[in-house]
């Protein structure tokens, strides 16, 4: 009889523990999407530029160098990005440089350097329009 009582108590305990364990266990499934947000702010001598802004260099003379003291680019995205400047349609025998080109920026960081334009001695006189393209790579 004692064995039967002990087995009964053991079986009852196993059932109670099993019930208690299942009462406190449940599973919640979760889903989500992590997005990459890329974005830049561009400043020329502390003035915020917008897409399609114009930089007016004014009248320039052959053989001279001109510059804006500070072209600043800030990463406002949430991913590291490499800043690449490309100049399109620059007049022949002219060179435009920005020493911070190809800099990798972490989110919320900025890089700044002078934007320099060298007009060659053999540049052809005239009025010109050219483009400064700012690209990013992750």
Q: Note the pLDDT of residue 110.
A: 96
The DSSP letter of residue 62 is T
Angstrom distance (rounded) from CA 131 to CA 89: 7
Q: Domain 40-137: which topology?
A: Immunoglobulin-like (2.60.40)
Q: Please, how many CA atoms are within 13 Å of residue 90, restricted to the half-sphere of its CB?
A: 16
Q: Tell me the mean pLDDT in the region 57-70.
A: 95
Backbone torsions φ then ψ of 97, nearest 5 degrees: -135, 155
pTM of the model: 0.74
| Average pLDDT score over the chain | 86
Q: Note the pLDDT of residue 116.
A: 96
Burial class (CB in 10 A: 0-12, 13-18, 19+), 137: exposed
Residue 61 confidence class, pLDDT cut points 50, 70, 90: very high
Where does residue 11 fall: left (phi above 0), alpha (psi -120 to 50 degrees), or beta otherwise?
alpha
């Amino acid at each position: 009889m004692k064995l039967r009582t002990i087995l009964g108590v053991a079986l009852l305990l196993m059932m109670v523990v099993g019930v208690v364990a299942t009462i406190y266990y449940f599973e919640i499934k979760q889903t989500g999407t992590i997005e990459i947000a890329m974005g830049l702010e561009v400043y020329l001598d502390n003035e915020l530029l917008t897409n399609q802004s114009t930089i007016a260099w004014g009248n320039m003379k052959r053989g001279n160098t001109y510059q804006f003291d500070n072209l600043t680019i800030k990463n406002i995205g949430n991913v590291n990005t490499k800043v690449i400047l490309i100049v399109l349609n620059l007049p022949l025998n002219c060179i435009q440089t920005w020493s911070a080109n190809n800099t990798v920026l972490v989110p919320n960081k900025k890089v700044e350097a002078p934007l320099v334009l060298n007009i060659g001695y053999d540049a052809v006189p005239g009025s010109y329009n050219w483009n400064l393209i700012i690209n990013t790579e992750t």
